[in-house]
Amino acid sequence: MEKMTEKFPQPLRPRRMRISEAVRSLVRETVLLPTDFIYPIFVIAGKDKVEPIESMPGCYRYSVDKALEVAKEAWQLGITALEVFGLPEYKDEIGSSAWDMESPVQRALTAIKQAIPEMTLISDVCLCQYTSHGHCGKLNGCYVDNDATLELLQKVATSQAEAGADIVAPSDMMDGRVAAIRSALDKGGYINTAIMSYAVKYASGYYGPFRDAADSAPSFGDRRAYQMDPANAREAMKEADLDVEEGADMIIVKPALAYLDIVYRVRQRMNLPLITYNVSGEYAMVKAASQNGWIDEKRIVMETLLSMKRAGSDAIITYHALDAAKWLQESK
C-alpha torsion sign, points 210, 214, 217, 223? negative
Nearest to 213 by CA among 39, 38, 42, 40: 42
Closest CA to 213 of 33, 43, 22, 12: 43
Q: Annotated catalytic residue: which of 91, 254, 287, 309?
A: 254
Nearest to 93 by CA among 144, 152, 133, 129: 133
**Active-site entry in 113, 201, 287, 309:** 201
- Write out the DSSP string of 235-285: HHHHHHHHHHHHT-SEEEEES-GGGHHHHHHHHHH--S-EEEEE-HHHHHH
The verdict on whether 49 is a catalytic residue reads no
Cα–Cα dist 128/97, whole Å: 11
Report the interhelical angle of 234-246 vs 177-187 (nearest 10°): 20
Rg for the chain, CA atoms, rounded: 21
Residues 317, 321, 327, 330, CA torsion sign: positive
3-state secondary structure of 313: coil
Q: Is 66 a catalytic residue?
A: no
Active site positions, annotated: 201, 254
